[in-house]
Amino acid sequence: MEVETPKAGIAKCRLARALAVVFVLLTVALSLAWSHRKLLSQDEMYAFQTDSLPTAAQLMQVQRTWPISLDPPLVHLLSHAGMQAFGVGAFALRIPALLGFLLMQICLFFFVRRLAGERAAAVATAFPALTATLFYSVEGRPYGVMLGFYALALLCWLRCAQREARRGWALLGLAVAIAATINVHYFGVLLLVPISAAEKWRTLARWKIDWPVCAAIVAGMASFAATLPYLKAAGEFRRNYYNAGGVGLHDITRAYRSIFVDYTQMSLAAQHLWMAALVIFAAALAWGCWRSGRELPIGGAQWVLLLSLAALPFCGYLLARFVTHSIEVRYVLGALVAISAMLAIALSPWLRRDGVFITVMIALGVGILATGVARIHAEQRKTAARLASLVLPAQTKEALLANADGRLYVQDMGAFEEDRIYEPDAEVRARMTLVYSSAQELLWNRHDTMALTAQHMQHFAGLPVISYEELRARPGEHVFALYHTGWDWTDQAFAADGARVTPLGHALGGDLAVVRF
C-alpha cells in the first residue's frame, strides 16, 4: 500500500483550498453578471424605497410606523450603508445578499473541514452555487444574509463545542450570529431550534452545562426584544395578509424543492418526478452520512445540529401553522447549509481518491458554470421582453396625452412599481398614479395587503397615490392600465360599478383602456 508523504498531504490540502477559493470567485462572477441583467422585483422595490431614505433614523422610523418591506431593520440598515458607500442603486441594495451568500460558503468550508477534511470542505463550499438558492445572492432581500448568518452560527457553535479554552471570539460570534439572524428576518428565530437542540444533546452527553455557550445563546436570543416595535408595526398586515391561512403540509415539500430548482416553471408531471428524485437523494444522503459517520470524528451533538437544521422546513411549517399563519418557502432556506455540509460529509470517503475528487470538482465547476450562464441568459431575455413592453405605441401614447385627466392609473402594485422605474418615456412615467382600495381588494381578493402598502407609501415615498373611491367620484374619463391578474381587481370593480370601458390597445405588458364611471 502506498503511503502518503507529508508533502503530498500538504499539497492536496492546498489544492482543496485553492479550489474552494475558485468556487467562491465563480459565485461572485456569476452573481454580479446575473444582478446586472436583473430588474428589481416588486419586493426589492419596497426595500429600495425604504433603504434609499436619506438617513438611517428616517429608515428606522418608517419601519416602526409605516413599513412596506415587512422585515426587521438590520438588513435595511446594511443596504442603506451600501447605498451610502456605492450610491443609490440596485447594486448597493443587493450587496448584503451577495456578501451573505459568500459568508455562507466560507463558513461552510471551515465548518466541514473540522468534521471531514479539506476536500469535503471544498465540496460544501461549491454546492450552494449549483442550487436555485444562488438567486438569493442577487435578490436585495434578507434571505442571502440569513444564509450567511446561519452558517456563521454553526461554525461558531462547533468551535465552542470542540475547545474549552481560547474561544472568546467563537462565543461572541455565536451570540452575534443568532442576534443578527433574528434581526434580519422574523423567521430567523428558527435558528434557535438546531443550536439549542445540539447544545442540549451535548449537555446530556457530558452531564455538564457549558455555561459560556448557554450564555451566548441566551444573549443572541434576547435580541428578539429589539424586533418587537417593528413586529408590531408589521402586524397591521396580518389581519388580512395575502397568504394568511394557507399553511399546509405541501409547504414542507415546496421548501425542499425550491432549494434545488425553480419548480414553479415546471409542469405538474415534472414536479412529481423531481420530488421522487429528491426522495432518492435524501435516502442516499442519509446512507452516506451513516457510512461516513462511522469513520469520522463527528459526535452526536454535531449530528443533531445538522439533522435539525436540515429539518428546518418542518419547523417552519409548525411555526406558521400555530403562530404566524403564513409562510413562504424562502423563509426556511437555511436548511441548505445543513444539506450542503451533509452531502460533503457523505462523499468524504470517496473524495480521498484523487481521481474521484478531481472528477467531483470538475463536475461541480461545469455544473455551476452551465446553470449560472443559463440563468443569466434567461434573465437577460426576460428583462429585454419586459423593457420592450414598456414602449407605448404612438397611437396609444397620443390617446393618453389627449386625455383631459392627464393621469395613467395603475392598480396592480407590481406593475406600477416596475413601470414607474423602468418606463423609458419620462412623459408617460410622470403620469403614472397608483390606485388602491381596501374595500375592493378585500371584496375580490380576500386580502388588503396592496392597499395597506399603498397607504403606507403615502407617508414617505413621495409617489402619486389615490384611492379608487376618490377617483370613482371624479367626473370625466380616466386612462387605466389593466393586467387581468389575481392581483388586479379592476375588471370586477368596473363591472360591478357599471363603468364604461373603452380599449386603447395593448401596452405596458397589459391593456390600456379609457374608463368612465
Range of the domain at 343: 6-382
> Where among 382, 399, 423 does a domain terminate?
382
Q: How far is CA 470 from CA 448, 466, 467, in A?
A: 17, 7, 5
> Where among 334, 362, 382 does a domain terminate?
382
Which is it for strands 465-467 and 477-482: parallel, antiparallel or unpaired? unpaired
Give me the pLDDT at residue 507, please.
87
Q: Are 357 and 119 in contact (CB under 8 A)?
A: yes
Q: How far is CA 260 from CA 102, 340, 415, in A?
A: 18, 11, 28
Give me the pLDDT at residue 9, please.
64
Q: Is residue 445 one of the residues assigned to a domain?
A: yes
User: Sorting pLDDT into bands at 50, 70 and 90, what band is 135?
Assistant: very high
Q: Is residue 467 one of the residues assigned to a domain?
A: yes
Q: Is residue 307 one of the residues assigned to a domain?
A: yes
Q: Is residue 1 one of the residues assigned to a domain?
A: no
% pLDDT > 90, the chain: 76
Selection from 184, 124, 179, 169 nearest residue 306 by Cα? 124
Number of compact structural domains in the chain: 2
Residue 260 sits at the vertex; the CA angle it makes with 141 and 150, to the nearest 5 degrees, is 50
Q: Is residue 167 one of the residues assigned to a domain?
A: yes
**Alpha-carbon distance 224 to 378, whole Å?**
39
> Where among 334, 365, 382 does a domain terminate?
382
Give me the pLDDT at residue 437, please.
95
% pLDDT > 70, the chain: 98
- Is pLDDT above 70 for 163? yes
| 356 and 412 fall within a common domain | no
Q: Provide the b/e sequence for 214-249 (b: ≥16 CB within 10 Å).
A: eebbebbbebbeebeebeebbebbeebbbebeebee
| 312 and 455 fall within a common domain | no
Render 491-504 in DSSP notation, one character per residue. Answer: HHHHHHHT-EEEEE
- Is pLDDT above 50 for 1? no
User: Sorting pLDDT into bands at 50, 70 and 90, what band is 264?
Assistant: confident
Give me the pLDDT at residue 178, please.
98
| 27 and 125 fall within a common domain | yes
Please give the model's pTM, rounded to 2 decimal places: 0.94
| 396 and 375 fall within a common domain | no
Q: Calculate the CA dihedral of residues 430, 440, 460, 186 and round it to 10 degrees.
A: -130
**Alpha-carbon distance 31 to 136, whole Å?**
9
Residues 6+ positions from 38 with CB-CB distance below 8 Å: 90, 138, 379, 383
User: Sorting pLDDT into bands at 50, 70 and 90, what band is 4?
Assistant: low
**Alpha-carbon distance 417 to 414, whole Å?**
5
User: Sorting pLDDT into bands at 50, 70 and 90, what band is 7?
Assistant: low
Give me the pLDDT at residue 92, please.
95
| 320 and 248 fall within a common domain | yes
Q: Which residues pair with 246 in a beta bridge?
A: none
Could you read off the pLDDT of 375-414 as tens digits, one per residue? 999 999 999 999 999 988 888 888 888 888 889 999 999 8
User: Sorting pLDDT into bands at 50, 70 and 90, what band is 325?
Assistant: confident
| 412 and 284 fall within a common domain | no
**Alpha-carbon distance 478 to 501, whole Å?**
10
SS3 486: coil
Give me the pLDDT at residue 2, please.
43
Mean pLDDT of 283-306: 93
**Alpha-carbon distance 45 to 448, whole Å?**
19
Residue type, 447: H
| 371 and 416 fall within a common domain | no
Give me the pLDDT at residue 398, please.
86
Give me the pLDDT at residue 8, please.
60
Q: Are 205 and 299 in contact (CB under 8 A)?
A: yes
**Alpha-carbon distance 220 to 50, whole Å?**
26
User: Sorting pLDDT into bands at 50, 70 and 90, what band is 267?
Assistant: confident
Give me the pLDDT at residue 396, please.
86
The cell 451535548 sits on which residue? Answer: 202
Q: Is residue 119 one of the residues assigned to a domain?
A: yes
Give me the pLDDT at residue 335, please.
97
**Alpha-carbon distance 335 to 252, whole Å?**
11
| 138 and 180 fall within a common domain | yes
Give me the pLDDT at residue 274, please.
85
The cell 403540509 sits on which residue? Answer: 249
Choice between 395 and 217, residue whose per-residue pLDDT is larger: 217
User: Sorting pLDDT into bands at 50, 70 and 90, what band is 5?
Assistant: low
Mean pLDDT of 1-16: 65
| 125 and 240 fall within a common domain | yes
| 77 and 108 fall within a common domain | yes
- Is pLDDT above 60 for 436? yes
| 406 and 368 fall within a common domain | no
List own/partner pairs for 9-17 with CB under 8 A and 24 or more apart. 12/118, 12/119, 12/354, 13/118, 16/118, 16/119, 16/121, 16/122, 16/357, 17/118, 17/122
Q: Are 334 and 146 in contact (CB under 8 A)?
A: yes
**Alpha-carbon distance 47 to 185, whole Å?**
13
| 328 and 453 fall within a common domain | no
Q: How many residues does the chain have?
A: 517
**Three-class SS of 372-428:** HHHHHHHHHHHHHHHHHHCCCCHHHHHHHHHCCCCCEEECCHHHHHHHHHHCCCHHH
